[in-house]
Amino acid sequence: MFQSIVQGFRSSWSSKVLSDDDSSSPTSYRLIGRIVDVRQPIYAIAISPDGQMFAYGGKRGPEVRTLKTTTLLEVPDFYPEVYGAVTILHWLDENELLIGTALGFLVIWSESDKGSGEIISAASSVQGDGFRIVVGMLDCTVGCIDWCMRRGLVYMWNSWGQRSHVFIPRALSIREDGSVRVLSLHNGKMFILDRDTGDCVGSPVSFVDPIGFAAIDEKKELIAIAHSGGFTLHDPNSREGTVAVYKAEKSRTDLPKPIIFGEGRRVVVIGSDHGKAYVFNKRKGGPPIDTLVHSNDPMELVQSVAAHYDGERSIILCATSSSTAHPSISIWERTVPGRQGKRGQHTVQDAAQRLIQTNESVPTLTVWSIVQVGILLCILKFIWNMGPVEAMAGWTKAAWGTEIRSLLAALNA
């Protein structure tokens, strides 16, 4: 009886397992499609959690398609020569895809937020053995990351992100206490964000019209702004607000013009929409002290400028920003008057000081040499008067004190 029950159980269990295996066996799958325009070897592939999309990638970068129709979706430009080949794909949720590359980059693609993540501002500061980095995006988001690299590993902490409904972060800077200063594009206001949370601190400060470009001098707490009404310098801590006004040639378009500091924050450099860049005295403002003719084409945009200063030599770069037949980059250089002279003056002064110190040490060295020679002569005279044998006996048998007294007496003689 017991054996028949066990046999019946085995029979029913075996039939159930076989039935389940049959339903999931490879022969039950059917081919429903094939993609032949892949154009690259695939190193990673993944399906979104909701089963609506799948992603794959290799040497040419990532691609995303709908699973039902295999329609290729638009993804941001990916540069394998910069990032390396795609080596791993991981869906964070049904819309966000994490992409890992052979050169150690992490890229996040979002299907639900197309075209709104353009980065329009960035700033950084040294924090211990690492950096604090903040970026501003066109979708009103500010993100902050603290990071450092130790023994080849990257450590990140204290990161936060804030999406605001009151500002578009056109310009950013990091204050001495680690908080973030934000200049808003559309309303011309300044906001301060807490260093640890990104929350707004205090009330915003209003400056001017919509801000096209801005440069922030945190050391002097001065802000240079390019706006629809012109170019101005502001002190957020002053009641008057406007410190200087820069008078460049009239703009022919409403496109934003770049504004930066140069020569160790002593001058302001401004681009234009007619092929030129202008250099102004930061504090005095007024007309430009120099005009850099980047192009003779009066229609050429100069919306990209950069400056470098090493204490003596000033470099300014101007670049074509419009779609012309021959875009170019012009390089401008000058030696800042007075700076080289001061450096040379310091060099001469240092050399003179060293010479004085050397001259002071020469007499001291000479006197000491004379004293040493005199002592040696006295010792020789003392030994000569005693005779060779008596001298040896005296030096070996007498106490040091006696010989020193004798030596002093000989010196006084």
Q: Are residues 303 and 395 in the same domain?
A: no
Q: Are residues 195 and 224 in the same domain?
A: yes
Q: Are residues 86 and 140 in the same domain?
A: no
Q: Are residues 53 and 79 in the same domain?
A: yes
Q: What is the mean pLDDT of residues 379-395?
A: 54
- Residues facing 42 on adjacent strands: 58
65, 85, 113 - which closes a domain: 113
Would you state the pLDDT for residue 207? 84
Residue 353 within any structural domain of the chain: no
Would you state the pLDDT for residue 179? 93
Residue appearing with tokens 């957020």: 236
Query: 234, 238, 139, 223: which is closest to 182 by C-alpha?
Result: 223
Q: What angle do CA 289, 294, 299 make, to 5 degrees?
A: 110
Q: Is residue 178 a contact partner of residue 131, using CB atoms and an 8 Å limit?
A: no
Average pLDDT, rounded, for the chain: 79
Lowest-pLDDT range of 154-163, 245-254, 327-336: 154-163
Query: 65, 62, 44: which is closest to 54 by C-alpha?
Result: 65
Q: Are residues 314 and 236 in the same domain?
A: yes
Query: 345, 288, 295: which is closest to 322 by C-alpha?
Result: 295
| Greatest extent of the chain over all pairs of C-alpha atoms, in Å | 139
Q: What is the mean pLDDT of residues 114-119?
A: 66
Residue 412 within any structural domain of the chain: yes
> How do residues 188-216 score in pLDDT, each as one tens digit?
899 999 999 999 999 999 887 789 999 99
Between CA 370 and CA 52 the distance in angstroms is 99
Confidence tier at 392 by pLDDT (50, 70, 90): very low
84, 113, 142 - which closes a domain: 113
Q: What is the mean pLDDT of residues 244-266?
A: 91
Residue 36 is which amino acid? V
Q: Are residues 177 and 60 in the same domain?
A: no
Q: Are residues 109 and 146 in the same domain?
A: no
Q: Is residue 308 a contact partner of residue 315, using CB atoms and an 8 Å limit?
A: yes
- Indicate whether 223 pLDDT > 80: yes
**Which tokens go with 137?**
């995006």
Which one-letter DSSP state was computed for residue 8?
H
CATH number at 228 reads: 2.130.10.10
> How do residues 294-328 score in pLDDT, each as one tens digit?
988 888 899 899 999 998 899 999 998 877 668 88
Between CA 56 and CA 63 the distance in angstroms is 6
Q: What angle do CA 78, 81, 82 make, to 5 degrees?
A: 70
- Residues facing 172 on adjacent strands: 182
Would you state the pLDDT for residue 74? 83
> How do residues 30-52 score in pLDDT, each as one tens digit?
888 888 888 888 999 999 999 99
Q: Are residues 122 and 197 in the same domain?
A: yes
- Indicate whether 409 pLDDT > 70: no
Would you state the pLDDT for residue 113? 56
Residue 215 within any structural domain of the chain: yes
Q: Are residues 56 and 142 in the same domain?
A: no
Residue 298 is which amino acid? P
Residue 6 within any structural domain of the chain: no
Highest mean predicted confidence (pLDDT) among 4-18, 250-264, 369-383: 250-264
Residue 380 within any structural domain of the chain: yes
Between CA 37 and CA 32 the distance in angstroms is 16
Which string of b and e fits 234-251 if b means at least 16 CB within 10 Å? Answer: beeeeeebebbebebeeb
Long-range contact pairs involving 123-127 (C-beta distance under 8 Å, separation at least 24): 123/172, 123/173, 123/174, 123/180, 124/174, 125/174, 125/178, 127/178
Q: Are residues 118 and 134 in the same domain?
A: yes
Could you give the percent of the chain with pLDDT greater than 70?
74
SS3 193: strand
Which one-letter DSSP state was computed for residue 372?
H
Q: Are residues 225 and 92 in the same domain?
A: no
- Indicate whether 11 pLDDT > 60: no
Residue 19 within any structural domain of the chain: no
Would you state the pLDDT for residue 400? 43
Could you give the percent of the chain with pLDDT greater than 90?
39
11 C-beta neighbours (distance < 10 Å), count: 10
Domain span at residue 208 reads 114-341
The structural domain count of the chain equals 3
Q: Are residues 120 and 41 in the same domain?
A: no
Residue 27 within any structural domain of the chain: no
Lowest-pLDDT range of 155-164, 199-208, 238-247, 367-376: 367-376
50, 84, 113 - which closes a domain: 113
Residue 87 within any structural domain of the chain: yes
Confidence tier at 118 by pLDDT (50, 70, 90): confident
Confidence tier at 156 by pLDDT (50, 70, 90): confident
Q: What is the mean pLDDT of residues 248-276?
A: 92
